[in-house]
């Protein structure tokens, strides 16, 4: 089963990391994700720009375009991984492994529809 | 990251909001800073045991308030007891905080905190140093190192700035739209000054000064989080990102400044450039152009050119023309003249800067550009005079060295082959 690992984090904290701290987190995660990639289990991985770069379109009678993220939350969605896991147990273990020594929050969501080429098969 | 490292970065990130809220509460910068400091000490003790609170800012504000109130009470022990209603508003405080989980409620607090650092009586350096100390929470030692001065000298500067600010009238009521816009403008200017303080570094100073640029970007992003619909704050953030993206290419191995046209563009930071573009695009939708947006757009045109020869100078000329009408200044015209020289030739650019001779009589770059244009036109003697004047006005050895290169070339070329 394909799972989305949504990485939620306090954005102000992540923005205040120095480049060295940021690089260290990425390097630590790569140890885990590189192994998954080697096994062909890692789908696209995405890191989003800060929420200040976000634009929100809210549909209604009149669509409303707003600057900023959809929800102002303490932990913002900063990126995600798609990983092919054999079970929820494996997914949970992987989340613990990827996020080791961090204060990140992972929301693990099974993927219902995946269209890497953008068109339904 | 270990626990303490993590808590440190949370406290650092929470500082502007928390100190801003405490300042509104206590109406004293010293009191706000002290109670925030005390709240941080308690966080370091309790967070590793109890885990982090869901909302660190609200936690720090609440604890800071309680600590500060306790101290006020103790301070009054010798006198008569204060009336109940003066001290027993903690319940209200909690209610207030529940309501203020939303970031937008902190925006005037953070803006006020930044704004008091921009007091017009303070010099630019004082403003920046005060903001770094109070808002960013850098230590005096760190700030002194960034400004290349001794710790005690910086300590004195900050203390003087603080006492000046303490005497100032600060409006604590929520500002109206006009006042808010004025504050935002002053704060944006201060953040840009802070950035330039770091950006103008050269040689051995670079290492210690880059953090000033990082801090400016952090504050600018914070401002944009609080005022997400302000195109000029998008422009400012984009401008800082697009300029900072060039950092790795700006100096050669000897620490000498490499001009934009000679930089190795593969060293430019593509992430920052992409984010800068995204912000410019968002800002444009508002159709409310301003100086930061225009300067960001100009930096964006440079970033877009894979090599210097591909630069769209006509576009830059246009953007500077708009900037000239919005914010007329001799320096803007001088910068435009560079673009004009590429589009319409040196003669046209020279005519354009002629009227600037008076207002820019003490400006290094004026004579540098004038010399360069005269050189292109083959007016060697006049070029040499302009370059000599430029060297006399150079503020750094790097500036002087750059002009000497031109002079050397002139001398070489004037020798018979």
pLDDT single digits (tens) B295-320: 999 999 999 999 999 999 999 999 99
Residue B241 to residue B292: CA distance in whole angstroms: 12
Q: How many domains does chain B have?
A: 1
Q: Kindly report, residue by residue over B107-164, the tens digit of the pLDDT.
A: 889 999 999 999 888 998 899 999 999 999 999 998 998 888 899 999 999 999 999 9
CA B79 to chain CA centroid, nearest Å: 46
pLDDT at B76: 57
B281 domain-assigned: no
Quote the CA–CA distance of A19 and B276 in Å, as a whole number. Answer: 18
ipTM confidence: 0.88
Architecture of domain A2-110: 2-Layer Sandwich (3.30)
Does B368 reside within a domain? Answer: no
Determine whether the interchain pair B13/A67 forms a contact, defined as Cβ–Cβ distance below 8 Å: no
CA distance A13 to A32: 23
* Average pLDDT of the residues of chain A: 92
**Structural domain containing residue B56:** 3-101
Chain A, nearest residue to B2 by Cα: A101
* B50, B143, B227 from B138: Cα distances, Å: 27, 7, 24
Reading the block at residue B337, the tokens are: 């003249």
> Does residue B253 fall inside a structural domain?
no
Whether the CB-CB separation of B60 and B100 falls below 8 Å is answered with: no
**Which residues of chain A have a Cβ shorter than 8 Å from any chain B Cβ?**
10-13, 15-18, 21, 24-25, 49-53, 55, 65-68, 72, 74, 101-103
Average pLDDT of B260-268? Answer: 93
Measured in degrees and rounded to the nearest 5, phi and psi for residue B352 equal: -70, -35
Residues B145, A82: Cα–Cα separation, whole Å = 44
Cβ atoms B385, B350 nearer than 8 A: no
Describe the crossing of helices B151-167 and B124-131 by its angle, rounded to 10 degrees. Answer: 90
Mutate to test the interface with A, among B2, B110, B138, B224 (most CBs of A within 10 A): B224
> In terms of Cα–Cα distance, which of B6, B54, B5, B14 is closest to B37?
B14
User: Going edge to edge, which strands form the sheet with A75-84?
Assistant: A42-47, A75-84, A2-10, A105-110
Rounded Cα–Cα distance for residues B408 and B417 (Å): 15
Site of tokens 């017009």: B120
**Optimal mutation site among A52, A68, A75, interface B, most CBs of chain B within 10 A:** A52
Whole-angstrom Cα Rg for chain B: 25
**Domain locations along chain A:** 2-110
The tokens for A93 are 């273990």
In terms of pLDDT, which residue wins out, B101 or B334? B334
What is the rounded average pLDDT for all residues in chain B? 87
Tell me if B190 sits within 8 A of B117, measured CB to CB. Answer: yes
pLDDT at position A15: 84
Asked, for residue B217, whether it belongs to a domain, the answer is no
Task: Judge whether B47 lies within some domain.
Answer: yes
pTM: 0.88
Cα(B375)–Cα(B406) distance, rounded to whole angstroms?
Answer: 9
């Amino acid at each position: 089963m394909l799972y989305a690992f949504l990485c939620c984090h306090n954005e102000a904290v992540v923005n205040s990391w120095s480049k060295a701290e940021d690089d260290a987190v990425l390097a630590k995660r790569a140890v885990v994700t590189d192994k998954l990639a080697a096994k062909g289990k890692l789908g696209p991985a995405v890191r989003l720009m800060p929420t200040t770069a976000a634009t929100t379109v809210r549909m209604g009678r009149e669509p409303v375009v707003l600057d900023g993220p959809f929800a102002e939350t303490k932990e913002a969605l900063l990126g995600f991984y798609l990983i092919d896991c054999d079970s929820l147990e494996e997914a949970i273990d992987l989340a613990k492994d990827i996020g080791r020594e961090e204060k990140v929050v992972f929301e693990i969501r099974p993927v219902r529809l995946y269209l890497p080429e953008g068109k339904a098969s | 990251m270990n626990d303490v490292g993590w808590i440190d970065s949370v406290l650092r990130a929470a500082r502007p909001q928390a100190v801003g809220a405490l300042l509104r509460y206590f109406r004293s910068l010293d009191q706000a800073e002290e109670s925030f400091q005390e709240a941080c000490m308690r966080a370091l003790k309790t967070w590793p045991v109890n885990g982090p609170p869901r909302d660190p800012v609200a936690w720090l504000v609440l604890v800071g308030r309680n600590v500060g109130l306790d101290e006020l009470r103790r301070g009054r022990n010798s006198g008569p007891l204060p009336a109940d209603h003066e001290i027993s508003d903690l319940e209200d405080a909690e209610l207030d905080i529940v309501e203020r989980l939303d970031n937008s409620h902190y925006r005037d607090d953070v803006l006020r905190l930044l704004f008091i650092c921009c007091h017009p009586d303070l010099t630019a350096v004082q403003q920046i140093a005060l903001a770094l100390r109070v808002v960013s929470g850098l230590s005096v030692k760190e700030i002194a190192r960034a400004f290349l001065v001794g710790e005690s000298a910086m300590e004195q500067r900050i203390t003087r700035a603080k006492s000046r600010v303490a005497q100032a009238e600060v409006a604590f009521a929520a500002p109206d739209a006009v006042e808010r816009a004025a504050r935002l403008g002053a704060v944006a200017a201060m953040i840009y000054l802070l950035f330039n303080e770091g950006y103008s570094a050269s040689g051995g100073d670079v290492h210690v000064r880059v953090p000033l640029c990082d801090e400016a970007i952090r504050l600018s992003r914070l401002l944009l989080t609080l005022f997400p619909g302000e195109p000029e704050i998008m422009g400012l953030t984009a401008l800082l990102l697009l300029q900072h993206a060039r950092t790795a290419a700006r100096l050669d191995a000897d620490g000498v400044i490499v001009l934009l046209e000679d930089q190795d563009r593969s060293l430019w930071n593509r992430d920052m450039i992409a984010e800068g573009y995204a912000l410019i695009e968002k800002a444009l939708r508002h159709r409310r152009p301003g100086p930061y947006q225009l300067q960001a757009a100009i930096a964006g045109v440079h970033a877009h050119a894979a090599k210097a020869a591909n630069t769209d100078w006509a576009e830059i000329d246009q953007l500077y023309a708009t900037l000239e009408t919005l914010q007329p200044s001799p320096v803007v015209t001088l910068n435009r003249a560079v673009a004009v020289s590429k589009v319409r030739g040196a003669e046209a650019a020279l005519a354009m800067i002629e009227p600037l001779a008076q207002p820019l009589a003490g400006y290094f770059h004026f004579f540098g550009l004038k010399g360069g244009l005269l050189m292109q036109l083959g007016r060697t003697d006049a070029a040499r005079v302009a370059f000599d004047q430029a060297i006399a006005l150079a503020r750094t050895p790097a500036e002087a060295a750059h002009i000497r290169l031109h002079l050397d070339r002139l001398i070489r070329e004037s020798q018979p082959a």
